DNA sequence: CAAATTTTTGACCGATTGGACAAACGTTAG
DNA sequence: CTAACGTTTGTCCAATCGGTCAAAAATTTG
């Protein structure tokens, strides 16, 4: 029985070329958005002709969809790792650090996601209200537990998570602005370490349990 | 002498129709980005034909440019108001509050700006490295003064400003995600007050001067 | 009123878009 | 070698894109 959801068999060439296309599409989609990107652009970036690209992905949307599916898993991995077992302050610090590292190492993925959300998330809305909400609610409960135990200051766990997302992804999504404002000296490679130091201080001081 | 920069004389109809177009363009550009928006879409949203729209703005870029110029002034107003005179903690609190109010009351303007930055700020890069950087540097100096005076904790003023931008604009730019995660109950109109409470706590506790 | 000016429209243009298709080309298994 | 299969390409298409233009309609001015 073919359910239509199982992964189709693929030759070695198909696997390689599909990866090539997805890599090129990530570059193009993340800087121009879905509607602002053309198949020609992606094909050229992947070093092949447009009909050839369409042999591997029949529609432009298929590329984007495949990209988004892969993205979400790796994107939410840091939050999944947030664990009830360790010390709350240590857990939060390493969550912030991991998210900031992702903004540094995978800025295109961050911008691709930001583009999708900015435009109303037309293609991933169900995922947000489903899988994502479930995960966040789950982690919010963990954080609430820490608050009840007096390990961190009482505050809104959901908005805490939002603020960590916002501040860390800012360094990927608004990178040009950050670099423009910091200037050539402070806007160099060291900006992520500066940001890490600042965010650590902000969140850890801001969340210290009160006497 | 015509410098080319003075405002042309306009009839009453021209003023009204241009406003109508800019309002419609704000709606369209902010949700689809520049390249993702079409003149037809804007014309239809403004209730006029495409050639009629092009009578008031000769090129698509002219609409976007006018929109961005107007935007930047109002968008930076809260930061301009950040003043050396008042109490540092009070000043910062009201700056955060004003920025959050702008995210609530002008989400389309925020998304328009975010779209532009996300795509590498091709049309406003000079403004970022010029006017914006100057303003931020100036306010960073003010904040540094507060730190030297022991009024607030020592930290990086530039990244402090970035974090305020990121956290407040998040509620406009990522609104769909915020509402999806919070769900129908907590994601209603009250979410901005919850956010205000959280951000106030985060920043004011995180910036308390240390003994 | 009538003339001058401004506003609106329909028809049209070349360029670009996403995508189809058959033919040509490569590769591999028997 | 050859037949089958997988890959690549050139050509083509209808739809849409940003934008032009002349003429009609509406408005303002004298």
Contacts of B198 in chain A (CB under 8 A): 155-156, 159-160, 163
Q: What is residue B82's DSSP assignment?
A: -
Domain with CATH 1.10.357.10 in chain A: 65-206
Average pLDDT per 10 consecutive residues for chain A, totaling 211 residues: 44 86 97 94 97 97 95 93 92 97 97 96 92 97 95 96 98 98 94 97 83 57
Return the H-helix or E-strand segment holding B68. Answer: helix B60-81
Convert A144-170 into a string of H (helix), E (strand) and C (coil).
HHHHHCCCCCCCCHHHHHHHHHHHHHH
**Fold annotation for A10-58:** Arc Repressor Mutant, subunit A (1.10.10)
Using alpha carbons, select from A108, A117, A112, A193 the residue that is nearest to residue A162: A117
* CB within 8 Å: A198 and B155: yes
Residue B149 near residue B81 (C-beta atoms within 8 A): no
From the candidate CATH numbers 3.10.20.310, 1.10.357.10, 3.40.50.300, 2.120.10.30, the one assigned to the domain spanning B62-206: 1.10.357.10
pLDDT of residue B6: 41
C-alpha span between A147 and A154 (Å, rounded): 5
pLDDT of residue B160: 97
Distance of C1' in D23 from CA in B52, Å: 14
User: pLDDT over 90 for what percent of chain B?
Assistant: 86
**Nucleotides on strand D lying under 7 Å from protein C-beta:** 6-11, 16-22, 27-28
Domain with CATH 1.10.10.60 in chain B: 11-58
pLDDT of residue B138: 97
pLDDT of residue A8: 55
Distance of C1' in C10 from CA in B113, Å: 36
Domain with CATH 1.10.357.10 in chain B: 62-206
Of B118, B205, B207, the CB nearest to A115: B118
* CB within 8 Å: A203 and B206: yes
Residue indicated by tokens 């400003």: B161
C-alpha span between B175 and B104 (Å, rounded): 10
Mean per-residue pLDDT, B16-22 = 96
Contacts of B114 in chain A (CB under 8 A): 114, 118, 173-174
C-alpha span between B158 and A186 (Å, rounded): 10
pLDDT of residue B8: 56
Tokens of B117: 């930055």
- B189 in contact with chain A, both atoms CB, cutoff 8 A: no
Using alpha carbons, select from B102, B103, B114 the residue that is nearest to residue B32: B114
Tokens of A175: 């990178």
pLDDT of residue B5: 37
Residue B171 near residue B103 (C-beta atoms within 8 A): yes
Contacts of A138 in chain B (CB under 8 A): none
* CB within 8 Å: B118 and A111: yes
Please identify, in words, the CATH class of the domain defined by B11-58. mainly alpha
Mean per-residue pLDDT, B160-181 = 98
Answer for B14: CB within 7 Å of strand C.
Answer: yes
Residue A91 near residue A152 (C-beta atoms within 8 A): no
What's chain B's average pLDDT? Answer: 92
pLDDT of residue A210: 66
Please identify, in words, the CATH class of the domain defined by A65-206. mainly alpha
pLDDT confidence bin for B178, thresholds 50/70/90 = very high
C-alpha span between B28 and B119 (Å, rounded): 16
pLDDT of residue B9: 55
Residues in A 118-157 with any Cβ partner in B closer than 8 A: 118-121, 125, 128-129, 132-133, 136-137, 153, 155-156
Domain with CATH 1.10.10.60 in chain A: 10-58
Using alpha carbons, select from A148, A171, A149, A147 the residue that is nearest to residue A160: A147
Residues in B 51-80 with any Cβ partner in A closer than 8 A: none
Using alpha carbons, select from A155, A182, A173 the residue that is nearest to residue B129: A182
Tokens of B38: 């079409």
Beta-carbon contacts of residue A135 (< 8 Å; ≥ 6 apart) = A76, A79, A80
Tokens of B111: 């998304």
pLDDT tens sequence across B26-56: 999 999 999 999 999 999 999 999 999 999 9
pLDDT tens sequence across B57-98: 999 999 999 999 999 989 999 999 998 998 999 999 999 999
Whether the per-residue pLDDT at B139 is higher than 90: the answer is yes
Tokens of B132: 């914006």
Residue A181 near residue B136 (C-beta atoms within 8 A): yes
Whether the per-residue pLDDT at B3 is higher than 70: the answer is no
pLDDT of residue A71: 92
pLDDT of residue B114: 97
Of A160, A176, A183, the CB nearest to B120: A176
C-alpha span between A28 and B35 (Å, rounded): 13
C-alpha span between B195 and A163 (Å, rounded): 9
C-alpha A95: how far from chain center: 13
C-alpha B81: how far from chain center: 15
C-alpha span between A61 and A123 (Å, rounded): 9
Whether the per-residue pLDDT at B1 is higher than 80: the answer is no
């Amino acid at each position: 029985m073919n359910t239509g959801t199982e992964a189709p068999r693929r030759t070695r060439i198909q696997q390689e070329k599909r990866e090539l296309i997805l890599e090129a599409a990530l570059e193009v989609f993340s800087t121009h958005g879905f509607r602002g990107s053309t198949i020609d652009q992606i094909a050229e970036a992947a070093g092949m002709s447009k009909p050839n690209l369409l042999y591997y992905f029949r529609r432009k949307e298929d590329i984007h969809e495949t990209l988004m599916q892969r993205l979400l898993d790796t994107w939410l991995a840091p939050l999944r790792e947030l664990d009830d077992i360790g010390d709350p302050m240590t857990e939060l610090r390493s969550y912030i650090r991991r998210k900031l590292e992702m903004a540094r190492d995978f800025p295109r993925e961050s911008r691709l996601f930001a583009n999708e959300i900015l435009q109303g998330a037309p293609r991933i809305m169900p995922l947000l209200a489903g899988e994502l909400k479930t995960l966040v609610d789950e982690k919010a409960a963990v954080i609430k537990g820490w608050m009840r135990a007096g390990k961190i200051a009482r505050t809104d766990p959901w908005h805490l998570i939002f603020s960590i997302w916002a501040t860390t992804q800012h360094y990927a999504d608004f990178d040009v602005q950050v670099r423009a404002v910091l200037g050539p000296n402070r806007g160099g490679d060291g900006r992520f370490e500066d940001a890490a130091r600042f965010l650590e201080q902000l969140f850890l001081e801001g969340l210290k349990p009160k006497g």
